[in-house]
Amino acid sequence: MVSRDWMEKDFYKVLGVSKDAPTADIKKAYRQLARDLHPDHNPDNPKAEERFKEVSEAYNVLADDKKRKEYDDMRSLLGAGSFRRDARMGGAQPFDLSDLLGNASRGAGMGGGGFGGGDSSGFGDLFGNLFGQGRRRGGPSKGRDVEASVTLSFSDAVLGTTIPLTLRAPGVCDTCHGNGAAPGTTPETCGTCHGLGMVTTNQGAFSFSEPCKDCQGVGTIVKDKCPECKGTGGVTKTRTMTVRIPAGVHNGQRIRLAGRGEPGDRGGPTGDLYVIIVVTPHEFFERREDDLTLRLPISFAEAALGADIRVPTLDAPITMRVPPGSPSGRVLRARGRGVPRRDGTTGDLLVTLEVEVPATLSPEARETVEKLATQLPPADRHELGAD
């Protein structure tokens, strides 16, 4: 699904292509930019690294027909700007659809990240609180989710790898173990809300609930605060963890690591870590779903007579048989040499033959070709009406 984050970015501008650019142009622009901005070519250049991530994200959307259509449709809808009610209906003030999307997304997960997890809010909470049916907000609460991006080579993304990942983010306080209380003490139940975190008042036929002001909706009060975290239960830490990247991940994919995010409040469960994959393009391999593609140059003699040719793969070269009389553009398939799938099977390697014609010939070679031309049948152009 299209995320709100996409709506705020002009992916066509990021890649420097027009909005009606064909997929081939998008791919060409991406490969050029990816080569120029690759971290290996721009060491210690954070601007180039950030630009590289932007280009990869744009390509991940625009190169996928389904994602591109969703992106174009929503951008077109939002491009209309604000929607005004008919003046005859009272001339209401305009509203922006992006605000509506923002309000909806802010109710999920990371305060707007919209990973589909975490607490949901919005209209349900609005009417629930109005009639005294709001959620309980007291007690420990889950920590926020965290995002981190890693850049992988094409080979590592296909074959899988294990990488160290260093994060500087809030972690559980080692002194109070996350409850915010000084050593030897524990948080006390709030006497105002009795641990509920909400205070309810009745006004006629309606009940109104609001967060308890004494405990700020937590349900407990820390009288003696931890000297290390000042009662928050968390401190900023630098963490290095080993992350296993499974085989077959694709550019832009998010990998969820449960319980590796920020610590919860007052001993609540830890949030999750989402690792965003950025894949650098390969020099000559490309990916099509679970298959790999490769363009293989061959000579006229190899195409006409057939040949056994060594072909590279991502792990070890293989020998493929080029049948005699193979035309340029013929596709050979090497089964099981593609991208590993979750079910244990593997995609294929699709090799497209490209017959190379020399731009210049030596006098001896020209004489040989001219002699050969008298022995070869002419090209069949009958269907074109040229003969």
Tell whether residue 229 is among the known ligand binding residues.
yes
Q: Three-state secondary structure along the chain? A: CCCHHHHCCCHHHHHCCCCCCCHHHHHHHHHHHHHHHCCCCCCCCHHHHHHHHHHHHHHHHHCCHHHHHHHHHHHHHHHCCEECCCHHHCCCCCEEHHHHHHHHHCCCCCCCCCCCCCCCCCHHHHHHHHCCCCCCCCCCECCCCEEEEEEECHHHHHHCEEEEEEEEEEEECCCCCCCCECCCCCCEECCCCCCCCEEEEEECCEEEEEECCCCCCCCEECCCECCCCCCCCEEEEEEEEEEEECCCCCCCCEEEECCCCCCCECCCCCCCEEEEEEECCCCCCEEECCEEEEEEEECHHHHHHCEEEEECCCCCCEEEEECCCCCCCCEEEECCCCCECCCCCECCEEEEEEECCCCCCCHHHHHHHHHHHCCCCCCCCHHHCCC
- Mutual angle of helices 97-105 and 65-79, in 10-degree steps: 120
Distance between CA atoms of 54 and 345, rounded to whole angstroms?
32
| Dihedral in degrees, nearest 10, Cα atoms 122, 126, 127, 128 | 90
165 known ligand binder: no
Per the annotation, does 176 bind a ligand?
Answer: yes
Would the annotation count 85 as a binding residue?
no
Whether 190 has a binding-site annotation, put simply, is yes
- C-alpha to C-alpha distance for 38 and 49, rounded to whole angstroms: 7
212 is in an annotated binding site: yes
Known binding-site positions for Zn(2+): 173, 176, 190, 193, 212, 215, 226, 229
Annotated binding site: 173, 176, 190, 193, 212, 215, 226, 229
